[in-house]
Structure 1
Amino acid sequence: MAPLDVVIIGAGAAGLFCAAQAGQRGLKVLLIDHAAKVAEKIRISGGGRCNFTNREASPAKFLSDNPHFCRSALARYTAADFIALVQKHRIAFHEKHKGQLFCDESAEQIIAMLLSECEAGGVTRWQPCKVAGVRRTDSGWAVDTERGEVHTNAVVIATGGLPVPKIGATDFGLRLAERLGHRIVTPRAALVPLTFDAAHWAPFIPMAGIALPVAISTTNPGRRGTVRTEFLEDLLFTHRGISGPAVLQISSFWRGGQPIEIDLAPGRDLSADLADAKSRSRRQLANELASWLPQRLADTWLALHGPAADLPMPQLPDAARKQLANGLQHWTLHPTGDEGWRKAEVMAGGVDTRDLSSQTMESRLHPGLYFIGEVVDVTGWLGGYNFQWAWSSGYACAEALAVATRPEQ
């Protein structure tokens, strides 16, 4: 095969978008992926409708050991830019919650759009095709594949993270980066349900399936002391622990051994509400509590913590009222783990950004080698932010490739 301008390894969101952008800038691009199906993670995202970006995307919504790294790429290719591309392809979409944008019909539309953009850029795609290795040569890079060796001026690693191994996730990009001398921020599951020791959680199993809005928080050491992070989202009780948007959000900030605190009635003063009910209602406590909480949650909580569910409101002692309200609004839990890579939506950690250029995504150790998307230590909140990082980092990389490979343009 004739020498290429760039080989991109990984045909997920970042790889497809970078390939399309580079190809449309006149570069000769080969896109390689080992999986039989293209962009399977896009296909299953957002319940099959793909939460493709968030109108509120900003550096503040991303985690990294270097929180400023993502600024340049996000500024140069914004959520508005990707929305314009979606509109150009006449894909109908809607805003579901807090700036989150979803396709009206199917995630397949985003995949088709990206493939169309690649076709417009003349991108060659080998899929499925395994890559055995990547190495420097005197004139650039050599990529060993099961279809033969190819030579290229540049290599882009867009292999994603470790979540959902059943759809082809691997640690190829991390292993390659480490072999070539890059530092790695220890990968961990993020946007993932939290779990508890089976014996500890057994009394809470009756609450499985209950969903409700909560305020959930945790604390972490910061550069200037302890930092508290809180989200107001829905929580879902499961047989093994807790899930739902609130838990997925806080999981990215939670570290093993740390507690989390949950307010099961956010925005209320339950102690005052119960005091008011005591003065005017003769109902049983469980029924009164169900005015603010799901009935099954109220029944289970009282069975575990008291007072008696059938206690008439006028007989509720003030001390018991205050203790009940405090427990429900300051529920402290100690998760023992999470559901791991099979249930995580993204990977936190990855290739250390200290070894990359924030302007170009190029390695500071090896000119002509680039890392984009989830394999990099940049992780977005739940709600379309990680897709926006894929688009933004892919765009920044494509821009840099065009300048480096065709400097006269």
Structure 2
Amino acid sequence: MVCGCSWINSGLEMVSRATPDLNTVDAQTVVIGGGIVGLAIARALLLAGDEVVVLEKANAFCTATSARNSEVIHAGIYYPTGSLKAQLCVAGAEKLYRYLAANNIAFNRIGKYIIASTMTQFEALKALHQQGLNNGVEGLALIERPPIDGLPAGVIAQSAIYSANTGIFDSAAYALSLLADIQRLGGIAVLNAECLSTAYDGNDFELSIGGASKYTVNCHRLINAAGLGASDVAATMTGIPLSAVRQQKLCKGSYFQYTGSHLFQHLVYPLPEQDGLGVHATVDILGGLRFGPDVEWLEEEEYGVDESRVLAFAQQVSTYWPALEVKKLMPAYSGIRPKAVSPDGSIEQDFCVLGELQHGVHGLVMLYGIESPGLTASLAIADYVVDLLG
């Protein structure tokens, strides 16, 4: 993806079935949300023999977080051992590589350097390396001092972690392939289908759907995989306990494209910061170089890239690449990471996936805070949801 969401309308609106003409539709399982995670869940349920309907409120699939990211396959280094992010990222990366290869989707295990630009950062880097090992990440190497082969000339690094299992891929082709799987397996995926309300009567769910036409969907099992809209969907549900509901905060990250020639052949990341992985250098599947994302908290969904942020970008990038030419940075796109809020008001650091064990409602799974590494982990998240449903 060279310029962010340029692929959104490249066929993802054409491969769904039409909105039902019936006033009432009955289904075994409904997945609310047609992003990559929602599509992966639907595919996994269909493979398990379920009957599945996917409802997406937009006029194309995968238009939000799924279309606005770095297209990186993460190895699973950063996340606390035992967390869902750690488990599902490590498992999901391998599942994703196998899926991409089997379906002839472009990818490259390009490798990533996480660098310490100063000697004082080495202990933090060493701890991060150990975290990756604890998580079962393969292909990690700790390089304790220069020279660090593989980094482009001009990048300052006193030490580094090299992750051989980190890669990049064509996420648009992946989304199209998941949709094709859903159709091949007999699933139904519907666009312009906004869930206005959901009522649970103790056994089944009744969904009121608005959009191009209005109708009702009845189902026995329900998965809320609405991404940025997961909390909004939860707020319209009646008959479920508060333990199934979480709020989300929106964390925006902007990207700037580098328009000049470059020598980057691998991904280069600084040490992570509190709410993200730092403004890093990403080489996309076509060889283009971009930097991002930064961190900007929002009250509502908005995707403009403020050109005035370029100086802050340049300042962060120049800490490890002083040769950066600011005039060659051009606004590219932005994405929004949904951050789940725990009941005590703090930001959840892990995926928040609530099943019957957490809220007591049979057949209901609620997903919140599905941010990075959600794309990498998508197939593993899907299998996890299937397991929760039994």
Give TM class, smaller chain.
0.5 to 0.7
Deviation, 1:175, is 3.3
Change (3 A) 1:188 1:81: same
Aligned residues between the structures: 274
Alignment partner of 1:22 is 2:45: yes
Deviation, 1:25, is 0.8
Counterpart CA distance in 2 for 1:113 and 1:160 is 20
1:370 is aligned with what amino acid? V
Give me the TM-score of the superposition, normalised by structure 2.
Answer: 0.56
Indicate the residue corresponding to 1:334 in structure 2. none
Deviation, 1:108, is 4.0
Change (3 A) 1:140 1:113: same
Alignment partner of 1:70 is 2:85: yes
After superposing the two structures, state which structure 1 stretch, 387-396 or 14-23, moved more: 387-396
Indicate the residue corresponding to 1:188 in structure 2. 250
SS of aligned partner of 1:161: helix
Counterpart CA distance in 2 for 1:358 and 1:44 is 19
Q: Select 1:377's aligned residue among 358, 369, 372.
A: 369
Q: Select 1:389's aligned residue among 372, 377, 382.
A: 377
Deviation, 1:21, is 0.8
Deviation, 1:82, is 1.5
Q: Name stretches of at least 5 consecutive residues in structure 2 with no aligned partner.
A: 1-23, 113-165, 283-288, 298-311
Instruction: Tell me which protein shows more helix as a share of its residues.
Output: 1
Counterpart CA distance in 1 for 2:276 and 2:352 is 29
Q: Deviations over 1:339-395 (max 9, x none)?
A: 9xx95423241364999x9897415223322123xxx12532xxxx33023332222
Indicate the residue corresponding to 1:40 in structure 2. 63
Indicate the residue corresponding to 2:192 in structure 1. 128
Query: 2:355·2:366 contact (CA, 8 Å) conserved in 1?
Result: yes
Counterpart CA distance in 1 for 2:250 and 2:261 is 26
Indicate the residue corresponding to 1:264 in structure 2. 318
Deviation, 1:24, is 1.4
Deviation, 1:129, is 1.8
Deviation, 1:14, is 0.9
Query: 1:183·1:352 contact (CA, 8 Å) conserved in 2?
Result: no
Alignment partner of 1:92 is 2:152: no
Query: 1:155·1:370 contact (CA, 8 Å) conserved in 2?
Result: yes
Deviation, 1:127, is 1.9
Deviation, 1:186, is 4.6
Counterpart CA distance in 1 for 2:47 and 2:38 is 14
Deviation, 1:233, is 3.3
Query: 2:44·2:383 contact (CA, 8 Å) conserved in 1?
Result: yes
| Correspondences of 1:358-377 after superposition (within 5 Å) | 361-362=354-355, 364-365=358-359, 366-372=361-367, 376-377=368-369
Change (3 A) 1:343 1:176: farther
Change (3 A) 1:144 1:91: same
SS of aligned partner of 1:349: strand
Counterpart CA distance in 1 for 2:352 and 2:245 is 19
Change (3 A) 1:118 1:45: same
Change (3 A) 1:112 1:8: same
Change (3 A) 1:209 1:185: farther
SS of aligned partner of 2:381: helix
Task: State the identity as a percent.
Answer: 10
| Correspondences of 1:103-182 after superposition (within 5 Å) | 103=170, 107-146=171-210, 147-161=214-228, 172-173=232-233, 175-176=235-236, 181=242, 182=244
Counterpart CA distance in 1 for 2:254 and 2:167 is 18
Indicate the residue corresponding to 2:280 in structure 1. 233
Q: Select 2:75's aligned residue among 56, 62, 75.
A: 56
Counterpart CA distance in 2 for 1:3 and 1:391 is 26
Counterpart CA distance in 2 for 1:91 and 1:28 is 27
2:295 is aligned with what amino acid? S
1:110 is aligned with what amino acid? Y
Change (3 A) 1:90 1:229: closer
| Correspondences of 1:225-304 after superposition (within 5 Å) | 231=278, 233-234=280-281, 245=291, 247-248=292-293, 251=295, 262=316, 264=318, 266=320, 293=323
Give me the TM-score of the superposition, normalised by structure 1.
Answer: 0.53
Counterpart CA distance in 2 for 1:295 and 1:400 is 50
Alignment partner of 1:350 is 2:340: yes
Change (3 A) 1:359 1:22: farther
Query: 1:12·1:39 contact (CA, 8 Å) conserved in 2?
Result: yes
Structure showing greater radius of gyration is 1
